[in-house]
A and B are shown apart, each in its own frame.
Chain A
Amino acid sequence: MFSRAVQVSRVAPIRAAQRASTASIAARRTVTTNAASAQVDKSSIPESDDEPFQVRLSDESFETYELDPPPYTLEVTKKELKQMYKDMVVVRQMEMAADRLYKEKKIRGFCHLSTGQEAVAVGIEHAITKADDVITSYRCHGFAYMRGGTVRSIIGELLGRREGIAYGKGGSMHMFTKGFFGGNGIVGAQVPVGAGLAFAQKYNDTKNATIVLYGDGASNQGQVFEAFNMAKLWKLPALFGCENNKYGMGTSAARSSALTDYYKRGQYIPGLKVNGMDVLAVKAAVQYGKQWTQEDNGPLVLEYVTYRYGGHSMSDPGTTYRTREEIQRMRSTNDPIAGLKQHILEWGVAAEDELKGIDKNARSYVNEEVEAAEAMAAPESIPKILYEDIYVKGSEPQFIRGRINEENFYFNN
Chain B
Amino acid sequence: MSRYLRPTARLAATARASAIRPTTTSSFLYKAAAVPSLQKRTYADAAGVKEYTVRDALNEALAEELELNPKVFILGEEVAQYNGAYKVTKGLLDRFGEKRIIDTPITEMGFTGLAVGAALNGLHPVCEFMTFNFAMQAIDHIVNSAAKTLYMSGGIQPCNITFRGPNGFASGVAAQHSQDYSAWYGSIPGLKVVSPWSAEDAKGLLKAAIRDPNPVVVLENELMYGKSFPMSEAAQKDDFVIPFGKAKIERVGKDLTMVTASRCVGQALVAAENLKSKYGVEVEVLNLRSIKPLDIESIVKSVKKTHRLMSIESGFPAFGVGAEILALTMEYAFDYLDAPAQRVTGADVPTPYAAGLEAMSFPTEELIEQYAVRMLRL
Contacts and interface: CB of A to CB of B under 8 A. Distances in A.
Interface of A: 133, 135, 164-170, 174, 176-177, 181-186, 189, 191-201, 203-204, 222-223, 225-227, 229-230, 233, 388-395, 397-400, 405-406, 408, 410-413
B117 A397 contact: no
A200 B117 CA distance: 8
B144 A186 contact: yes
A182 B117 contact: no
Contacts of A167: 154-155
Given A170-B153, A390-B150, A412-B21, 7 more contacts: A176-B149, A189-B144, A192-B113, A197-B120, A230-B104, A395-B28, A410-B14
A169 B151 contact: yes
Nearest to B331: A405
A203 B152 contact: no
A352 B190 CA distance: 53
Given A200-B121, A200-B123, A389-B150, A192 B99 contact: no
A44 to B, nearest CB: 41
B107 interface: yes
B14 A412 contact: yes
B352 interface: no
Interface residues of B, number: 56
Nearest to A206: B121
B26 interface: yes
B141 A169 contact: no
For the complex of A and B, the 4 pairs showing the least CB-CB separation, nearest first, are A196-B117, A226-B110, A192-B113, A167-B154
Nearest to B5: A406
Contact of B155 (A183, A198, A393, A400): A393
A193 B113 contact: yes
A189 B14 contact: no
B47 interface: no
A391 B154 contact: no
Contacts of A196: 113-121
A170 B104 CA distance: 32
Contacts of A394: 24, 26, 28
B158 A392 contact: yes
A186 B114 contact: no
Contacts of B356: none
B140 A166 contact: no
Looking at B14, B73, B212, the one whose CB has the most chain A CB atoms below 10 A away is B14
Nearest to A164: B154
A410 B112 CA distance: 32
Looking at B109, B114, B154, B192, the one whose CB has the most chain A CB atoms below 10 A away is: B114
B349 interface: no
Contacts of B122: 200, 204
B117 A199 contact: yes
Nearest to B213: A392
A229 B110 contact: yes
A411 B18 CA distance: 11
A79 B292 CA distance: 55
B145 interface: yes
Nearest to B109: A223
A225 B144 CA distance: 19
Contact of A391 (B7, B140, B144, B190): B190
B99 A203 contact: yes
B153 A195 contact: no
Contact of B105 (A222, A229, A399, A408): A229
Interface in B258-299: 292-293, 297
B110 A412 contact: no
Interface centre among A170, A198, A229, A400 (most CB of B within 10 A): A170
Given A192-B114, A398-B18, A406 B7 contact: yes
Contacts of B17: 412
Nearest to A223: B109
Interface in B327-354: 331-332
B97 interface: no
17 contacts: A169-B154, A181-B117, A182-B149, A182-B152, A189-B140, A193-B145, A194-B117, A196-B118, A199-B114, A199-B118, A388-B155, A389-B155, A390-B189, A392-B214, A394-B26, A398-B245, A399-B14
A200 B152 CA distance: 22
A410 B18 CA distance: 11
B154 A229 contact: no
A412 B212 contact: no
